[in-house]
Amino acid sequence: MTQPAVVNGDLIMDGETLDVLDPSTGNLLDRTIRGTFEHIDAAVDAARAATEGWRHTPYARRSQILRRVAELLRRDREQLALLESRDTGKPLTQARADADVASRYFEFYANVMEAYFGHSPPANDDIIAYTRHVPFGVTGHIIPWNYPLQIGCRTLAPAIAVGNCAVVKPAENAPLSVIKIAQLALEAGVPPGVINVVPGLGSEAGAALAGHKGIDHLSFTGSVSVGASVAKAAADNVVPVALELGGKSPNIVFPDADLEQALPVIVKSMIQNAGQTCSAGSRLLVQEDARDAVISGLAQLLADLSIGAGPDDPDLGPLISAKQRDHVTHMVARAVDAGFTQVVGPGNVTVPDKGFFFPPTLLDDVDPAAEIACQEAFGPVVAATTFSTVDDAISLANGTDYGLIAAVWTKNLDTAHLLAEEVHAGQVYLNTYGAGGGVEHAFGGVKKSGYGREKGVEALDAFSQTKSVVLKITR
Ligand code: NAD
């Protein structure tokens, strides 16, 4: 069966289709409709028509409906996790965690929206002023393939909580769970037109949504180049846009760190979703006195990882596509050609023949200016560089165009807080690493990692506009 667009509560099946492949085998998994400008146009119209009814729905009722979406996501957790694992190739345990987080987004925003107050700023005696949070109207959401279930809910839940109606364009490589979310939302009582989903290609449905004149706000998660083009399209319509882009996030390890605690977390930060995580720990900055212990400990952990099809629940699954695997392969080959030491990687680790697998890869002695240390590989690859002083660590951490997250591993509070202050990143973790989690914590980048904040209470600010009302009292 072809997976539909969901527009105004209807399942739309007409027109051409797109194949969706199973990354664990390379075989056909499913098909979706290939969304066109007309589908996007119909979805924007449906969202527009739903806006008045939805924004005037009492807060308590909207909150109840969001909570019901959370319940249904929890009810269908196993089914959604399996679907996500098949569609993205990610290990089942990680897909289950994504399903839990998806549900938590709706639950969290169902709760916080009811305590999302305006202000009454101080003013002269004859003035009473207050602010209200007003929805934008129709919000456009462009979602990547790496965490469709999580990122779909991350942007949808706060957007509709504050009264917007949404049009979502999932990624062509992994659209299935986002289409399911729209269907579950209808079952939960979200009125038709409040959440519309149109699958399709980025250059067609995606570009149509980004440039549509009926959109009032855009939320984009994906690559820097496409993000920039979406922002240009939004600028032409004078529409605000939130960009959640890539990263080259460092784990920064000092000799006093508890390595028994740190190393498994560093490995997880690097291989989660096969490294196809915007906030992956793809750089390792290690103080020279800790280098031998860190590199040999990581090599051992990486060599012990199980590798296989996502639904079989290994430690490491495949990459999303042959194109992505080729990209990572070439990038690692260039790093090895440049003379960096491959401690673990292609040649020393066996991966399944079928599907789009790439081995866990640890490169040491990497020049911090090298491509592999500065650009996203978006695979299970970490580039290690040593440093000597705290100042060196800060300057290396800030040495790329990105600034999404960073982790500092030390028992020294001064060092930890100094780096938390000085490292340019939207999130800094001290003795832990938070890729993917943290519904409650504001998330987003600096520099080329993007702008705007999602997650946390801050997402309600992002998806609403403040209106000031000022009354003059005549005595
Ligand atoms: P991508 O930019 O190719 O695609 C993202 C989405 O944009 C997809 O839905 C795609 O169809 C759509 N798209 C493509 N071309 C478009 C166009 N011209 N106009 C409008 N939409 C278009 O990125 P990707 O390959 O899907 O995802 C990987 C990238 O996303 C990585 O760089 C990663 O770091 C980043 N990412 C960031 C976050 C974050 O929260 N910061 C999360 C996940 C992924």
pLDDT in tens, 281-337: 999 999 999 999 999 999 999 999 999 999 999 999 999 999 999 999 999 999 999
Q: Which atom of ligand 1 is nearest to the CA of 172?
A: 11
Residue 155 lies in a domain: yes
Tell me how many domains the chain contains: 2
Please give the average per-residue pLDDT across 13-28, as a whole number: 96
287 lines ligand 1 (CB under 6 A): no
Q: List all residues 6 or more positions away from 46 whose beta carbon is below 8 Å from its beta carbon.
A: 7, 8, 192, 193, 196
* Same domain? 433 vs 458: no
Query: Quick one: pLDDT at residue 1?
Result: 79
* Same domain? 303 vs 198: no
* Same domain? 395 vs 340: yes
| Calpha distance 103→168 (Å, rounded) | 18
**Which residue's alpha carbon is nearest to atom 35 within ligand 1?**
222
- Structure tokens, 368: 């911090």
**Which residue's alpha carbon is nearest to atom 16 within ligand 1?**
202
Contact criterion met (CB below 8 Å) for 405 and 435: yes
Query: Quick one: pLDDT at residue 475?
Result: 85
pLDDT at 435 over 70: no
* Same domain? 168 vs 277: no
pTM value is: 0.96
* Same domain? 153 vs 193: yes
Distance 380 CA to ligand 1 centre (A): 18
Residue 443 lies in a domain: no
Q: Which atom of ligand 1 is nearest to the CA of 209?
A: 20
178 lines ligand 1 (CB under 6 A): no
Q: Percent of the chain having pLDDT more than 90?
A: 97
Residue 194 lies in a domain: yes
Q: List all residues 6 or more positions away from 308 whose beta carbon is below 8 Å from its beta carbon.
A: 24, 314, 317, 352
Read off the amino acid at residue 140: G
Residue 444 lies in a domain: no
Q: Which of 221, 277, 327, 376 has most ligand 1 atoms within 8 Å of its beta carbon, as the pocket-test mutant?
A: 221
Tokens 């939207």 belong to which residue? Answer: 426
Q: List all residues 6 or more positions away from 146 whose beta carbon is below 8 Å from its beta carbon.
A: 88, 174, 273, 276, 277, 278, 320
Residue 211 lies in a domain: yes
Residue 131 lies in a domain: yes
Q: With residue 136 as reference, give the H or E element that holds it.
A: none
Read off the amino acid at residue 82: L
Range with the poorest average pLDDT among 204-218, 259-273, 432-446: 432-446
Q: In the structure, what pLDDT confidence band is assigned to residue 123 with cuts at 50, 70 and 90?
A: confident
Contact criterion met (CB below 8 Å) for 432 and 458: no
Please give the average per-residue pLDDT across 140-158, as a whole number: 98
* Same domain? 234 vs 255: no
Q: Chain-centre distance of CA 212, in angstroms?
A: 23
* Same domain? 76 vs 190: yes
Contact criterion met (CB below 8 Å) for 270 and 236: no
**Which residue's alpha carbon is nearest to atom 19 within ligand 1?**
207
Range of the domain at 294: 250-438
* Domain of residue 313, CATH code: 3.40.309.10
| Calpha distance 306→380 (Å, rounded) | 13
Query: Quick one: pLDDT at residue 186?
Result: 98
* Domain of residue 228, CATH code: 3.40.605.10
30 lines ligand 1 (CB under 6 A): no
244 lines ligand 1 (CB under 6 A): yes
* Same domain? 7 vs 84: yes
* Same domain? 171 vs 279: no
* Same domain? 269 vs 389: yes
| Calpha distance 424→403 (Å, rounded) | 6
DSSP letters, 246-288, are ---PEEEE-TTS-HHHHHHHHHHHHHGGGG--TT---EEEEEG
* Same domain? 321 vs 192: no
Residue 427 lies in a domain: yes
| Calpha distance 343→363 (Å, rounded) | 6
* Same domain? 218 vs 269: no
The CA–CA distances, whole Å, from 106 to 16, 70, 275, 455 equal 33, 5, 26, 11
pLDDT at 436 over 60: no
Contact criterion met (CB below 8 Å) for 227 and 404: no
Query: In this structure, is the dihedral angle defined by the CA atoms of residues 405, 408, 413 and 417, taken in order, positive or negative?
Result: negative
Residue 475 lies in a domain: no
